[in-house]
């Protein structure tokens, strides 16, 4: 998001920042997925495989494995969600994103509460 810029006649380093908010958001989402979410999911899958190979004998181990699977499932859903939104962010499609938010708000008002859980 910060780029080095050369200016003729000087040896100083100059930098410029990305000014397009849509590109900034898109870059942040992609980079966070690559640097944080993908490695976490890989580790969770490895943990699940280790637990399964060790034989889940007690209830505590089974409950722990279930928590890891739930977390992994949530991260998978988050990846799918951001993957589905990125094309609209890249196209700067504010109208679609506003409609999506309105749809969620209507769903919440029909249920009568906000979905915090």
Work out how many domains the chain is built from and give that number. 1
Q: How many contiguous H segments (helices) and E segments (strands) does the chain have?
A: 4, 2
What value does the mean pLDDT take over residues 53-66?
A: 84
Q: Please report the pLDDT score of residue 94 as a whole number.
A: 87
Query: Where in the chain does DSSP place strands (E)?
Result: 2-5, 14-17
Percent of the chain with pLDDT over 70: 96
Who's near 77: CB < 8 A, 6+ residues apart?
none
What value does the mean pLDDT take over residues 6-17?
A: 87
Is the pTM higher than 0.95? The answer reads no
Q: Is residue 11 part of a domain?
A: no
pLDDT in tens, 68-94: 999 999 999 999 999 999 998 988 888
Q: Is residue 10 part of a domain?
A: no
Question: In angstroms, rounded to a whole number, what is the distance separating the alpha carbons of residues 35 and 21?
Answer: 21
Q: Is residue 86 part of a domain?
A: yes
Q: Is residue 102 part of a domain?
A: yes
CA triple 62-64-65, angle to 5 deg = 65
Q: Is residue 14 part of a domain?
A: no
> Which domain covers residue 30, as residue numbers?
21-111
């Amino acid at each position: 998001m910060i780029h080095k810029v050369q200016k003729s006649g000087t040896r100083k380093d100059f930098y410029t920042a990305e000014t397009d908010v849509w590109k900034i958001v898109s870059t942040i989402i992609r980079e966070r997925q690559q640097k944080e979410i993908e490695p976490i999911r890989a580790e969770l899958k490895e943990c699940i495989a280790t637990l399964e190979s060790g034989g889940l004998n007690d209830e505590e181990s089974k409950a722990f494995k279930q928590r890891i699977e739930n977390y992994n499932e949530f991260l998978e859903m988050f990846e799918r969600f951001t993957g589905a939104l990125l094309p609209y962010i890249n196209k700067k499609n504010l109208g679609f994103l506003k409609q999506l938010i309105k749809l969620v708000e209507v769903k919440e008002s029909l249920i009568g509460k906000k979905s915090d859980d």
